[in-house]
Amino acid sequence: MGDGIVLLGCGDVGPIREPLEDFGALAKPTLAAGDIRFGQCERVYSERGNLQIHSGGGHSRCAPHMASIFSDCGFDVLSVASNHAMDWGGDALLDTIDLLRDQGIAVVGGGRTLEEARQPAILERDGVTVAFLAYCSILREGYAAGPNKTGVAPLRAHTYYEPFDYQAGVPPKVVTVPYEEDLANMEADIAAAKKQAQVVVLSLHWGIHFIPRMIADYQPIAAKAAFDAGADLILGHHAHVPKAIGAYDGKVCFYSLSNFIMTGTEKSPAEGKKFEREYSVELDPDYPNLSYGSDAKRSLIAKAVLGADGVKRVSFLPVLIDPQLRPEVLRNGDPRFDDAVKFMEWVSEDFPHRFTVDGDEVIVEA
């Protein structure tokens, strides 16, 4: 065994437009250099199922052939624990899991039962065993797996509202805390996975979307609990924008890796203005089909060097999605690289971290 194996972690993947092979063109050389490639599967791939009326996810079911995006980019393991996983019911989710596994891709975070959804995927490379677990905090009613029910592994949060001031009309403080039973299940799963693998990587579909610096209370609570239970690295997503990176006792949490390969639906002028007003973000007119805010084109790839004794080094590769919605890995010396590092410092400033540029990557330390 050499100096370790390289894990590359990407955010949300789920383009709904073709041709698919164009989307990965700029990033595939970088992905090819990894030993294990992780991504978040943001859609379902099936011709079965019925749209859950309360989901708002009519866009989230794709034809099965469109799952070729994952094999084309060389992904080895995917999480299906997303807020869209059950938009079309259990059959569509199970079809997706089977389809991905038929491509030789390991799948975590969903299944026919809660027990199945909580099972780790364990990959071995060059004598290093790595366990992956995945959970979702953004769940509509009925989306969580149960003892005899298809769904995704949940890490839900309660929301409370506390008065911020005694004056009438002042917005309350929003407080969120993880469900105790979900947190306990996750901790137990991590501890069990740690007995089977040298490194445990946790995937969390969580947080508050679109708003760059906003982290919900429950997220650091869950992250620290996961690290205490034995997790070695957290790869977060869902927000469609990069968020903070925090290093706790030498372990790194990526709160959001942002989009990797995503396409959405173009908003009408009225829809766009409403979106900008509600989320206090601006849409980029050059990205009508990535309509999550002007920072949605910012992305990153998490990179970790793993060995038999754990995580040796954690860094990130700054990424910018171009107007054709292709992620481009940026290089040191490019002003866009410097801008990406500055942005990540800004979103991370309230979290423990130190960034050091080393070649074309940014090292993350406590």
* Predicted local distance difference test score (pLDDT) of residue 1: 44
DSSP category for residue 325: S
Residues of the chain with pLDDT under 50: 1
* Predicted local distance difference test score (pLDDT) of residue 58: 83
Model confidence pTM above 0.95: yes
Q: How does pLDDT run across 152-179, given as a tens digit for each residue? A: 999 999 999 999 898 999 999 999 999 9
User: How far is residue 12's CA from residue 101's CA, in Å, rounded to a whole number?
Assistant: 18
Q: How does pLDDT run across 229-266, given as a tens digit for each residue? A: 999 999 999 999 999 999 999 999 999 999 999 998 89
CB neighbourhood size of 234 (10 A):
26
User: How far is residue 165's CA from residue 120's CA, in Å, rounded to a whole number?
Assistant: 45
User: How far is residue 63's CA from residue 65's CA, in Å, rounded to a whole number?
Assistant: 6
* Predicted local distance difference test score (pLDDT) of residue 56: 79
Question: Omega of the bond prior to 147 within 30 degrees of 0, cis?
Answer: no
Residue 118's SS3 state is: coil
Question: Omega of the bond prior to 285 within 30 degrees of 0, cis?
Answer: no
Q: What secondary structure does DSSP assign to 249-288, as a single string?
A: TTEEEES-B-EEEE---PPPHHHHHHHHHHHT----TT-T
Task: Tell me the helix, strand and coil percentages in the chain, rounded to 5.
Answer: 25, 35, 40
* Predicted local distance difference test score (pLDDT) of residue 346: 98
- Interhelix angle for 218-229 vs 180-194, to 10°? 30
